[in-house]
Amino acid sequence: MAGNITFTMIKPDAVGAGNVGAITKMIQEAGFTIKAMKLTKMSGERAGQFYAVHKERPFYADLCKYMSSGAIVPMILEKDNAVEDFRKLIGATDPTKAEAGTIRNLFAKSIEANAIHGSDSDENALIEGSFFFSQTEQF
């Protein structure tokens, strides 16, 4: 059965552009409950750890630099079928391919600065949530 928790993070481009409120509103209106949320910033080293799965990809170094360039807003979200439904709400990685009305379609600047992260599995949702919040199991 699909889990009811996912992890997201509003990325530096969207925080810098003042879109935290608009994005958070869309998330809540889509039926997600925010269980944990904070404004923080990653060092380049922390960004590298978060995206370690991509370390062989050509965009890895740029991605780590970008993700540590400004404030981010990580959140733990709850909803039935959370992981899949949230990936639908944010749209494709490349905003030029993201469906109309998705968060990336509306707010992303580029394939790298694409406004928001969404976990790709129940397992990764817990790992990524724990990266920013303690006692994730209580959510």
Near ligand ADP in 70-109, by CB under 6 A = 93
SS (H, E, C) the chain: CCCCEEEEEECHHHHHCCCHHHHHHHHHHCCCEEEEECCECCCHHHHHHHCHHHCCCCCHHHHHHHHCCCCEEEEEEECCCHHHHHHHHHCCCCCCCCCCCCHHHHHCCCCCCCCEEECCCHHHHHHHHHHHCCCHHHC
CB of 123 to ligand ADP, least distance (A): 14
Among positions 114-133, residues that touch Mg ion (CB under 5 A) are 120
- Active site annotation includes 54: no
Min CB(85)–ligand ADP separation in Å? 15
Footprint on residues 3-42 left by ligand ADP (CB under 6 A):
none
- In whole angstroms, the minimum distance from the beta carbon of 120 to Mg ion comes to 5
Tokens 């009305």 sit on residue: 101
Q: Is 136 in the site for ligand ADP (CB under 6 A)?
A: no
- The catalytic position among 36, 108, 117, 125 is 117
Q: Please identify every residue annotated as catalytic.
A: 117
Give contact residues for ligand ADP (rule: CB under 6 A). 54, 59, 63, 93, 111-112, 114, 117, 120
